[in-house]
């Protein structure tokens, strides 16, 4: 069932319905050796980042990104620093019927582990991926680097891809949330997704249309987390 999309004035003071933002202009990828700006003051990006919040998956609805929008979101997510250009990550897309099919595996293994759970709880597992129109699994896929790039660095790069994807999805007019839940850490589910022995899930990015605006959550006192090294 399609829920209503957002239409109310949000904290950024915009009356634009997020749907409007989905009329994406062409964002061509720069070509190799194109000169790009080292710094580019951009008040809208600063504002965007100061107010960015994840949306809760329970407040997501159809539609999700179309093929062109998804291509852009993935391409922007992949514009992430990675030491020695190893591209130590990859994406698995869950959309349409694949989401329900994947849910069958979640329900099966959940029931195997917790046989006494009520039927509704099993159903919750079965329908997990149906909570959003699109789920992108981000796989951390570290490479065996002859020059010794640490696995840790490669895993950090996968995390950065997830963060970039949240930004790209939101900037494209969609709500997004980064979840791991139990199935990101289950070898049987890894097998269902063909995750290699050396790989692990960095997370699942749920993407859809927001049905409500999130409220601000507590943020850290950054000065308390910051020190100047002096000696």
Ligand X SMILES: Cc1cc2nc3c(=O)[nH]c(=O)nc-3n(C[C@H](O)[C@H](O)[C@H](O)COP(=O)(O)O)c2cc1C
CA 29, CA 77: separation in Å to the nearest integer? Answer: 12
Shortest distance in whole angstroms from residue 147 CB to ligand X: 28
Shortest distance in whole angstroms from residue 162 CB to ligand X: 7
Shortest distance in whole angstroms from residue 55 CB to ligand X: 8
Q: Give a three-class secondary structure readout of 160-196.
A: HHHHHHHHHHHHCCCEEEEECCHHHHCHHHHHHCCCC
Site for ligand X in 67-96 (CB under 6 A): none
Please say whether the beta carbons of 203 and 138 come within 8 A.
yes
Q: Is the peptide bond before 93 cis (omega within 30 degrees of 0)?
A: no
Number of residues located near ligand X, criterion CB under 6 A:
9
Site for ligand X in 137-176 (CB under 6 A): none
Q: Cβ closer to ligand X: 187 or 217?
A: 217
Interface mask toward ligand X for 171-200; x: CB under 6 A: ------xxxxx-------------------
DSSP string, 206-227: EEEEESSPPPP-----GGGG--
Q: Cβ closer to ligand X: 24 or 179?
A: 179
Please say whether the beta carbons of 170 and 176 come within 8 A.
yes
Q: According to the binding rule CB under 6 A, does residue 54 interact with ligand X?
A: yes
Q: Cβ closer to ligand X: 174 or 178?
A: 178
β-bridge mates for residue 209, sequence order: 61
Q: Cβ closer to ligand X: 21 or 54?
A: 54
Please say whether the beta carbons of 72 and 27 come within 8 A.
yes
Q: According to the binding rule CB under 6 A, does residue 203 interact with ligand X?
A: yes
Token pair of 40 as six digits: 């580019």
Shortest distance in whole angstroms from residue 184 CB to ligand X: 7
Q: Cβ closer to ligand X: 84 or 155?
A: 155
Q: Cβ closer to ligand X: 164 or 177?
A: 177
The dihedrals phi and psi of 116, each to the nearest 5 degrees, come to -95, 10
CA 214, CA 166: separation in Å to the nearest integer? Answer: 15
Give the residue closest to ligand X by C-beta: 54
Place of tokens 């957002």: 6
Shortest distance in whole angstroms from residue 50 CB to ligand X: 11
Shortest distance in whole angstroms from residue 223 CB to ligand X: 19
What are the residues binding ligand X (CB under 6 A)?
53-54, 177-181, 203, 217
């Amino acid at each position: 069932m399609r829920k209503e999309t957002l239409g109310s004035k949000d904290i950024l003071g915009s009356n634009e319905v997020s749907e409007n933002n989905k009329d994406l202009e062409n964002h061509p990828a720069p070509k190799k050796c194109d000169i790009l700006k080292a710094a580019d003051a951009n008040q809208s990006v600063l504002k965007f980042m100061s107010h960015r919040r994840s949306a809760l998956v329970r407040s997501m609805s159809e539609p999700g990104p179309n093929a062109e929008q998804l291509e852009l979101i993935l391409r922007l997510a992949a514009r992430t620093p990675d030491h020695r250009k190893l591209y130590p990550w990859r994406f698995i897309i869950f959309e349409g019927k694949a989401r329900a099919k994947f849910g069958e595996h979640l329900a099966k293994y959940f029931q195997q582990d917790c046989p006494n759970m009520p039927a509704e709880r099993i159903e919750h597992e079965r329908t997990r991926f149906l909570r959003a129109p699109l789920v992108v699994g981000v796989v951390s896929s570290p490479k065996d680097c002859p020059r010794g790039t640490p696995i840790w660095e490669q895993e950090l790069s996968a995390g950065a891809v997830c963060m970039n994807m949240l930004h790209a999805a939101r900037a494209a007019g969609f709500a997004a949330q980064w979840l791991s839940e139990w199935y990101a850490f289950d070898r049987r589910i890894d097998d269902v997704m063909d995750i290699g022995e050396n790989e692990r899930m960095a997370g699942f990015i749920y993407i859809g249309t927001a049905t409500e605006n999130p409220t601000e959550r507590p943020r850290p006192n950054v000065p308390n987390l910051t020190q100047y090294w002096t000696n």
